[in-house]
Amino acid sequence: MRGVKIVLVVSSGVSLYKSIDTARLLIRHGADVYVFMTPKAARLVSPHLFWWATGNKPVVRLTGATEHIEICGKADVLLVAPATANTLVKLFLGIADNAALTCALAASGAKKVVVPAMNLAMWNTPQVQEAVRRLGKEALVVPPLVEEGKAKYPPPEDVVEYVIDATAPRDYEGLRVLVTAGPTREYLDDVKFLTTPSSGLTGYYFAREAAARGAEVTLVGPTDLKPPSNVAIVKVTSVLEMYQAVIKRAKHHDVFIFAAAPLDFYVDNRVSGKIDSYLPQYQVTLRQAPKIAQDVKKYNPNAFVIGFKAEHNVDEAELLEKTRRRMEHGGWNMALAHDVAKMGFGTLKDRYLLLTRERTEVLGPAHKRELARAVLTAARSQLKRLN
């Protein structure tokens, strides 16, 4: 979000202190953050804390400097967090009886993200639900965390993801995207299994970015990460289940992103129950699994395929050679090569070598969401040429 101007409107919910962390996270993603507070919010938490967090002096009352026009009227994103019941209804009705709400009204050209937070009884009232429904037509409304009788402010990291969603171009509308994510598990018995240390984060961010850009997205994998509600989930456990799930849907998707780290083998002699722990040794037979990313074009020759090639502790020349061989064998349109010995699994950052048939480009190290955005932008350019 480098260069993105965000106006953060803070109302007087008791969870407003979380917006300090939200502001800091947005800044770490490169955004410029300006804060407008309601008078009651400014009495609960000192504006100086938001000044410290953002480097910009918060506005509580308008002056002759017309801050609502000079700042809010030029914003890229309007983030209302937290949005109390009172603020939600006023936003819906267009009431501007304080500087923060005047700012919200003036930011007519900005993308809008609203973060409701209040007691659950207030959240469930018809007036608030109608306001949420109507606001949802022009804004991303972040679902509150419902627990302990409250509709709570979600984790700031989740709020930031919705803000990033709002900044995404809508250039994948009409496309169907399938993403694989996470590890697979190959059970030796009903207790023990072989797997990889993949977290599923890479696939999760690709799925989220594609959905934010307007695609109809299916995420296939065992990952426990919770994607946005507009992503369809297909839960699988083993590599054969993942293969079957993808092949079954091959003809019905346009773009395939194979970000999962499935095992290359499956267990041929799985036993029921539990292997006796007193056995001096136990022999396991592993069979080579079919390659999902290599076979998808057999079932959908027009598929646009983005494949991943992970290696461990190899030099760049060898990594490139192995990736190009895999790319040619599978008919991939684009490949992402990375050395897991350098960045590892489960990290929020990664570094890719992006390969197309014409060029090679280094991406990162960067946050995986940023990498997903860069890759999908490059893929969109290729898709336009193909069409």
CATH of the domain at 122: 3.40.50.1950
Task: Clarify whether residues 15 and 43 are in a common domain.
Answer: yes
289 and 352 in a single domain? The answer is yes
Write down which residue in 110, 141, 167 finishes a domain. Answer: 167
Number of domains in the chain: 2
**pLDDT at residue number 375:** 97
Q: Are residues 91 and 234 in the same domain?
A: no
DSSP H helices in 213-291: 239-249
Per-residue model confidence (pLDDT) at position 278: 93
366's tokens: 């960067």
Is residue 122 within 8 Å of 149, Cβ to Cβ?
no
Please state the length of the chain: 387
Tell me, yes or no, whether 143 and 193 share the same domain: no
Q: Is the dihedral of CA 267, 268, 272, 273 positive or negative?
A: negative
For 150, the token pair is 């409250």
User: Are 69 and 138 contained in the same domain?
Assistant: yes
Read out DSSP for 135-199?
HTTTSEEPPPEEETTEEEPPPHHHHHHHHHHHHS--TTTT-EEEEE-SB--EESSSS-EE-----
Domain stop point among 140, 167, 194:
167
Task: Specify the pLDDT at position 387.
Answer: 65
Report the CATH number that the domain containing residue 311 is assigned in CATH. Answer: 3.40.50.10300
Question: Could you say which residues of the chain have pLDDT below 70?
Answer: 344, 387
- Full residue range of the structural domain in which residue 59 is found: 5-167
Residue 17, phi then psi, degrees to nearest 5 = -60, -25
Pairing of strands 111-116, 140-141: parallel
CA–CA dist 361, 338 (Å, integer):
12
247: number of Cβ within 10 Å: 16
Question: Do residues 164 and 138 touch, judged by C-beta distance below 8 A?
Answer: no
- Which two tokens mark 27? 């800044």
Residue 105, Cβ density class (10 Å: 0-12 exposed, 13-18 middle, ≥19 buried)? middle
Residues 155 and 39 in one domain: yes
| Statement to judge: residues 62 and 207 lie in one domain | no
What would the pLDDT profile of 91-134 be if each residue is shown by its tens digit? 999 999 999 999 999 999 999 999 999 999 999 999 999 999 99
C-beta of residue 188 within 8 angstroms of C-beta of residue 157: no
Judgement on whether residues 163 and 182 belong to the same structural domain of the protein: no
d(CA 71, CA 103): 8
- pTM here is 0.92
Helix (H) or strand (E) holding 35: strand 32-37
- Cα torsion for 252, 253, 257, 258, to the nearest 10°? 10
Q: pLDDT tens digits for 213-255?
A: 999 999 999 877 887 888 999 999 999 999 999 999 999 999 9
Domain end position, chosen among 138, 167, 196: 167
- Tell me which amino acid residue 271 is: V
Same domain, 125 and 272: no
Answer yes or no: do 232 and 364 share one domain: yes
15 plus 132 within the same structural domain:
yes
Q: What is the per-residue pLDDT for 260?
A: 95
Is residue 158 domain-shared with residue 253, that is, in the same domain? no
Model pLDDT, residue 269: 87
66: tokens are: 């017309």
Contact 150, 120 (CB under 8 A): yes
Q: How far apart are CA 73 and CA 78, in angstroms?
A: 10
